[in-house]
Amino acid sequence: MIILISCTNIKNVTFEADTHNQAGIAHGGGIAPLLKLLDSRNGTLQHNGAFALYGLVDNEDNVADFIRVGGVQKLLDGDFILQPTRDCVAKMLKRLEEKIQGRVLRRLLYLMLNADKIIQRRVSLALAHLCSPNDQKTIFVDNNGIELLLELLESVHSKLRGYACAALCKLAEKTSSLSSVDAGPSSPISQVYLGEQYVNNPTLSDITFLIEGKRFYAHRICLLASSDAFRAMFDGGYREKDAKDINIPNISWETFELMMRYIYTGSVEISSRVAHDLLKAADQYLLDGLKRLCEYTIAQDITADNVELMYDLSEAFNAVSLRNACILFVLEHFHKLDPEPWYGSLVHRILPEIRNCFVKRLTA
């Protein structure tokens, strides 16, 4: 049987010319030997193997077999010596993307649900990299592909954990809203603001806050329009309802002024130095727009040294965008974080939120 093991003249063979020959090579076990050539340290053998595989995957009958034996991961992992080989691999991945639809996708979904566990995982990893965004919900929610990836996150094998992180990052890349915190918060909800000139201005002021022993002048109408917290304060049964001066403990003048500036103008410049305290204030006074601005600022400072603390911060104040940013950081920086003794316990702790994060975005 000719499966071109020697590969001396592989690149002279026109696989595209005979689809029956392609299928015969694949079903005869010819894909695995060709994949082994990609591990060669001989650039010519690598290129010949890649060229042969490129021809094979053009036949959609071979795509499921190629993925079943781990072909996609081999392409993604490969250390290819020659630039023409790297170009060939890139084109092959693109060709595979184009094939993941219709009959091919149905076959892969069948394998993902019914094959041995190792094949199920290979299929889910491959589909994360290759599937259309339009098929993500079908694959990863309706057919539980996300669960296979999450299982791999807690594998005892570092390589498999890395594969899962890369696959989830690819899904996040295709689902752009998942990483919306990186693009900055959306514009504030349209409403009328009194304007900068009325911030801490006694003109027409009908309420005064006492911050660190100093008076801050404000206007009830502006506060009532800003959040449910202030509406409850002034319209509810709280003692502040009829008070002229309201003492605000446990908040600095700088933080309070920034919060009020946002209420009066709809925007504010936030430095990383005050972002944590301002996030706490925004959460307390139910200022969602300000909260998103704080989350965006804080997310820019996530590092390997503080990601666990940042995640805890997001949990303390139900800061969803910051939580998502921490999750993506943990996945994207796997190779740097995995050797850390605390990384495994962190992943185990946040696994339910990783699931919720992806399921919510894939079903949006």
pLDDT at 285 over 90: yes
Higher-pLDDT residue of 331, 361: 331
Q: Would you state the structure tokens that stand for residue 262, as one six-digit string? A: 């946002």
* Predicted model pTM: 0.83
Among 102-106, 238-242, 302-306, where is mean pLDDT lowest? 238-242
Which 8-state DSSP code applies to residue 270? -
pLDDT at 11: 39
Rg of the chain over Cα atoms, rounded to whole angstroms, equals 28
pLDDT at 24: 54
* Rounded (5°) CA angle 184-128-88: 105
**How many of the other CB atoms lie within 10 Å of CB of 157?**
9
Distance from C-alpha of 80 to C-alpha of 42, rounded to nearest angstrom: 10
DSSP string, 234-247: HHSSSGGGG-SEEE
Name the pLDDT band for 243 (thresholds 50, 70, 90).
low
Among 81-85, 132-136, 190-194, 335-339, where is mean pLDDT lowest? 190-194
What average pLDDT does the chain have? 88
What CATH code would you report for 196-299? 3.30.710.10
Distance from C-alpha of 219 to C-alpha of 217, rounded to nearest angstrom: 7
pLDDT at 164 over 60: yes
Higher-pLDDT residue of 361, 12: 361
Mean pLDDT over 194-211 rounds to 91
pLDDT at 92 over 50: yes
pLDDT at 26: 59
pLDDT at 185: 55
CA-to-CA separations, 163 to 152, 184, 193, in angstroms, rounded:
8, 29, 49
CA-to-CA separations, 337 to 52, 158, 257, 353, in angstroms, rounded:
37, 11, 38, 19
Q: Would you state the structure tokens that stand for residue 266, as one six-digit string? A: 């709809």
DSSP run (H or E) holding 123? helix 117-130
Q: Which of 317, 318, 314, 316 is nearest to 330 (CA)?
A: 314
pLDDT at 30: 82
pLDDT at 15: 43
pLDDT at 23 over 60: no
Distance from C-alpha of 166 to C-alpha of 122, rounded to nearest angstrom: 13
Among 188-202, 229-243, 278-292, where is mean pLDDT lowest? 229-243
Question: Could you identify the residue written with the tokens 């996945």?
Answer: 331
pLDDT at 127: 98
